[in-house]
Amino acid sequence: MSVKIKVENLNAWYGRNHVLKDINIEIKANKITAIIGPSGCGKSTFIRCLNRLHEVVPGAQVKGHVWVDGQDLYALGVDPTEVRHRIGMVFQKPNPFPTMSIFENVAVGVRIHGLKPGVKLEEIVERSLRMAALWEEVSDRLYTSGVSLSGGQQQRLCIARALAVEPEVLLLDEPCASLDPISTLKIEDLLVELKKNYTIVIVTHNMQQAARVSDYTAFLLDGELVEYGPTPEIFTRPQDKRTEDYITGRFG
């Protein structure tokens, strides 16, 4: 089983606040890896370091290495914009661009990065919406506002927008936190389907969700990686008592 992302001695700060401490982890290709842990443990910061979004925050600092297919994303000369092209991000709250139609919300990234020769924008938009399991619901209203959709549809629209630029990795920061149970299940089913073509890392507070959709689970606590392994083992045979206490609801 191939490794898509290798993280070595990753440390991150917000000002003087040391948020991530010597994180070492290997994330498998075409698998879903769940990042769990209590609020403030560094989960969101961790995935933001994977596509260099952390560094855009004033006062933020990163040290260490993030290798994707053998390339160190933090090496000198690596373009952060290209990194974010390869590693897409979907945030906790659906954030379609309010002044854009459904079509333009999906197309905007493609317009920025440029169309490949011989490829039509309409084809990319349709393919991305189909991959996000949204095409059948919106194909007759592509030029209405993206914010006219329901919350669950907006989140799938954001996933379609991320997929349109053909990333290799998809990062999701609690993508179902603001969604109802039916929309949540649609997103989960979608992720299981998408892992055939993408490596997926998802931050979640929902233990049932992590158990349902992920192949691997990493437990963070106070900025440290406590435990990482196949999800069934983490949930049924954790090696660290802190992991067991968190999963069983004793804290967090």
127-162 pLDDT, tens digit each: 999 999 999 999 999 999 999 999 999 999 999 999
- What sign for the dihedral angle of Cα 18, 227, 80, 44? negative
Residue ranges of alpha helices (H) inside 116-204 are 121-131, 135-138, 151-164, 181-194
* Sequence letter at residue 171: L
Which pLDDT score is estimated for 42? Answer: 96
pLDDT digits (tens, 9 = 90+) for 226-252: 999 999 999 999 999 999 999 998 876
pLDDT at 53 over 70: yes
Least confident of 54-58, 79-83, 117-121, 188-192: 117-121
SS3 4: strand
SS3 18: strand
Asked if 84 and 109 touch (Cβ cutoff 8 Å), the reply is: no
Which pLDDT score is estimated for 252? Answer: 67
Annotated domain spans of the chain? 3-247
Strand-pair partners of 8: 65
Q: What is the mean pLDDT of the chain?
A: 94
Confidence of residue 117 (pLDDT cuts 50, 70, 90): confident
Rounded mean pLDDT of 196-213?
A: 96
* CATH among 3.40.50.300, 3.30.360.10, 3.10.50.40, 3.40.640.10 for 3-247: 3.40.50.300
**Structural element, H or E, at residue 186:** helix 181-194
